């Protein structure tokens, strides 16, 4: 399982990130102090660090300089939004830079993108009796192959990477269709209905009022 270290002095933000990444299948550890972050990476192996800049003990810039020899991917998540701050963070070795407040779906997408760059992504996604081999683009239900269209497969991967997270219609449409969402949800709704039927997810893939859809699976 992919291990993520979350470093932010605001515990509610740590908890929010932990909740959403854990629902997507990541194992998360949180600390609220820069020195505690350094202690953690010295004792445990992590695949990715989500790092705030303004931290007690040692700030994010100090932390990334200290851990640079370990070659752990780092995404800065910070309220410092000026261009000079982004440039400094990237020059220090950060792989990405996300400004608060952030959208959870965007955070998960950026995490996945950085992990892919380092070949650290999980190749199989699972939910109940559904198994998805992302590289082979193969879907199994109870061990039997399920044939999906490209759009259905794209939606399925998004839902399984964001289990128990409400996903906005706009985000689903724009990511899978790669086009701007203009308010007509009939195409998206039809594909979701077909996924429900093919995967037996009539009670798992639920509509969220005024938001979109959520894949509900046991933790």
CATH number for the domain including 98? 3.40.50.2300
Could you tell me the residue range of the domain that residue 147 belongs to? 124-215
Same domain for 175 and 99?
no
CATH code assigned at 193: 1.10.10.10
Based on the fold, state whether residues 128 and 113 are members of the same structural domain: no
pLDDT one digit per residue (tens) for the chain, 219 residues? 688 999 999 999 999 999 988 877 788 999 999 999 999 998 888 989 999 999 999 999 999 999 888 889 999 998 887 878 788 888 888 899 999 888 888 898 899 889 888 777 666 788 888 988 887 788 999 889 999 999 999 999 989 888 888 899 888 888 888 877 777 788 999 999 999 999 999 999 999 998 999 999 886
Are 97 and 150 within one domain? no
Q: Does residue 7 sit in the same domain as residue 113?
A: yes
Counts for the chain of helices (H) and strands (E), in that order: 8, 12
The pLDDT value recorded for residue 136 is: 78
Q: Are residues 153 and 177 in the same domain?
A: yes
**Are 105 and 11 in a shared domain?**
yes
Per-residue b/e over 95-118, b at no fewer than 16 CB within 10 Å? bbbbeeeeebbebbbbbbebbeee
Judge contact between 141 and 199, C-beta under 8 A: yes
Choosing from 117, 133, 156, the residue where a domain stops is 117
The predicted pLDDT at position 123 comes to 65
| DSSP letter (8 states) at residue 102 | -
Tell me: do 91 and 131 sit in the same domain: no
Give the 3-state secondary structure of residue 99.
strand
Query: Is residue 110 located within the same domain as residue 141?
Result: no
Region of 93 (left: φ > 0; alpha: ψ -120 to 50; beta: rest) is left
Q: Say if residue 31 is in the same domain as residue 133.
A: no
Q: 96 and 11, same structural domain?
A: yes
Same domain, 165 and 195: yes
Is pTM beyond 0.95 here?
A: no
H-assigned helices in the chain: 11-23, 34-43, 60-67, 83-91, 104-117, 150-161, 169-176, 186-199
Question: In total, how many domains does the chain have?
Answer: 2
């Amino acid at each position: 399982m992919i291990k993520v270290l979350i470093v932010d002095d605001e515990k509610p933000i740590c908890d929010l990130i932990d909740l959403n990444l854990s629902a997507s299948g990541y194992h998360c550890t949180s600390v609220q102090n820069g020195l505690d972050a350094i202690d953690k990476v010295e004792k445990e192996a992590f695949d990715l660090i989500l790092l705030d800049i303004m931290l007690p003990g040692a700030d994010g810039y100090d932390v990334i300089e200290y851990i640079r020899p370990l070659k752990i991917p780092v995404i800065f998540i910070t309220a410092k939004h000026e261009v000079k701050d982004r440039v400094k963070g990237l020059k220090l070795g950060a792989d990405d830079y996300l400004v608060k407040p952030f959208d959870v779906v965007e955070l998960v997408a950026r995490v996945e993108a950085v992990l892919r760059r380092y070949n650290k992504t999980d190749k199989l996604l699972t939910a109940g009796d559904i198994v998805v081999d992302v590289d082979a683009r193969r879907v199994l239900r109870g061990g039997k192959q399920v044939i999906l269209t490209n759009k259905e497969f794209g939606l399925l991967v998004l839902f399984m990477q964001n289990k128990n997270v409400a996903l906005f219609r706009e985000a689903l449409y724009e990511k899978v269709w790669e086009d701007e969402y203009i308010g007509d949800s009939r195409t998206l709704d039809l594909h979701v209905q077909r996924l429900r039927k093919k995967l037996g997810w009539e009670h798992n893939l639920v509509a969220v009022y005024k938001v979109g859809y959520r894949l509900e699976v046991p933790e």
